[in-house]
Amino acid sequence: MDVAPEERQVELAAVARRLFAARCPAQTVRDLEESEEGHSPGLWREMARLGWLGLSHPGSGSGVADLVALYTEMGRALVPGPHLPSAVVSAHALLAAGGRDELVAAMTEGETIVVPALAEESGEYAPDALTVRADPTGTGHRLSGTKLLVPFAHVASWLLVAAQAPEGVTLFLVDPSDCAVERLPNIAGQPLFAVTFDGVEAPAGALVGEPGRGHDLLAPALDRAAVLRSAEIAGAGEALLEITVRYAREREQFGEAIGRFQAVQYLCSDIAIDGHLTALLARQAAWALDQGRPARREVAAAKAYGSRAAQRIVHCAHEVHAGMAFMLESDVQLFTRRAKHWEFGFGTADDHDDDLVTALQDARVTAS
């Protein structure tokens, strides 16, 4: 198994790095955190023009490994935007359900944003963790309950809502203007919202796929998202390593650069090791997904390690920078705050540890 990036992925990463360096430097990241949209519509249109909103879609000639190359650069530049919720999670769930070709085409062209409304108070995605109800009305369903941490709900044309219907978890497309949408403050500075459905009517045409199949449609899309979140963490590790090594060379103490001290070298080495292993696990999981193989073990290993690496990487960077890294003027704090969001998104390390154990047990049973 060779998980080294292919030539087209190296080229994609190079193009992405140049684009994000020009369109999304650190000051732009700061400005977008304070903006109403929370992302750059101009950059979104440019990504659509480059075909990046349809990467890994059927017929695109690309796979999850190509997305890993892109997301590594997105993590490196801390690019904010609805790519992961819309172009990955929602798009792949809609494609799996079938019958939404026009909507997916509009999403690929950057004209429409569809974001998933999944998490609730528990923060989990398991079917038994969902409490938002979808009660049949004869002409459709009536949705009741609240979704939390819904990304970019304020700029979305549609919400892809997972709700408990009599048949089980079912997906619906809901117009956010029919709901109560409230912005949630968060350490990462991300546009996250609470969305409340107070008897919102979802007509028959709002149903996505068959009733009760919502989890089956979402699970593969969420696996992709977990792998890509790990790729973002790996990219952030690359950037933080460069920032930290540069500071260690420039900052002097006791008459010499602090980078000459072994303790500082160890911290920089730890950033490099965690970033490298996270990238390797993400590429391994992407390879398994692209091969169409059962990939629960690889996905779980990538996100479990990535979630923990995200915190270790920023911790080491703070150790080298000391109090300077906490200042708003420092770029390190941008990564620190985003890393906390990445740590928990699309499953915590503990969640994926449980999945990894289950996958290993299943493999053992199959082998015996």
pLDDT tens profile 116-144: 999 999 888 788 889 999 999 999 999 99
pLDDT in tens, 210-234: 999 999 999 999 999 999 999 999 9
Could you say which DSSP state residue 76 is in?
A: H
Is residue 24, in this structure, part of any structural domain at all?
A: yes
Statement to judge: residues 59 and 123 lie in one domain: no
**Structure tokens given for 368:** 């015996």
CB neighbours of residue 84 within 10 Å = 23
- Does 63 score more than 80 pLDDT? yes
Cα–Cα distance measured from residue 179 to residue 159, given in angstroms and rounded to the nearest whole number: 10
Whole-angstrom distance, CA of residue 233 vs CA of residue 310: 6
Show the domain range for 68: 7-108
Task: Tell me: do 184 and 281 sit in the same domain.
Answer: no
Q: Are strands 207-208 and 168-174 parallel, antiparallel or unpaired?
A: antiparallel
Indicate whether 258 and 352 sit together in one domain: yes
Please name the amino acid found at residue 299.
Answer: V
Are residue 349 and residue 223 in the same domain, yes or no? yes
204 assigned to some structural domain: yes
pLDDT-based confidence at 1, cuts 50/70/90?
A: low
CATH number at residue 135: 2.40.110.10
Residue whose structure tokens are 């796929």: 209
Asked if 224 and 358 sit in the same domain, the reply is: yes
For the stretch 258-310, pLDDT in tens is 999 999 999 999 999 999 999 999 999 999 999 998 899 999 999 999 999 99
Q: What share of the chain is helix, strand, coil (3-state, %, to 5)?
A: 60, 15, 25
**In 3-state terms, what secondary structure has residue 251?**
coil
CATH, residue 37: 1.10.540.10
197: Cα separation from own chain's centroid: 25
Residues 97 and 123 in one domain: no
- Asked if residue 335 belongs to a domain, the reply is yes
Helix 296-321 to helix 349-367 angle, to the nearest 10 degrees? 150
Task: Judge if 274 and 204 occupy the same domain.
Answer: no
How many domains is the chain partitioned into structurally?
3
Residue 160 shares a structural domain with residue 291: no
Interval 256-266: pLDDT, tens: 999 999 999 99
Q: Mark which of 165, 196, 211 sits at the end of a domain.
A: 211
Mapped onto helix, strand or coil, the DSSP state of residue 291 is coil
pTM of the model: 0.95
Among 108, 127, 160, give the residue marking a domain's end.
Answer: 108
Cα separation of 53 and 83, whole Å? Answer: 7
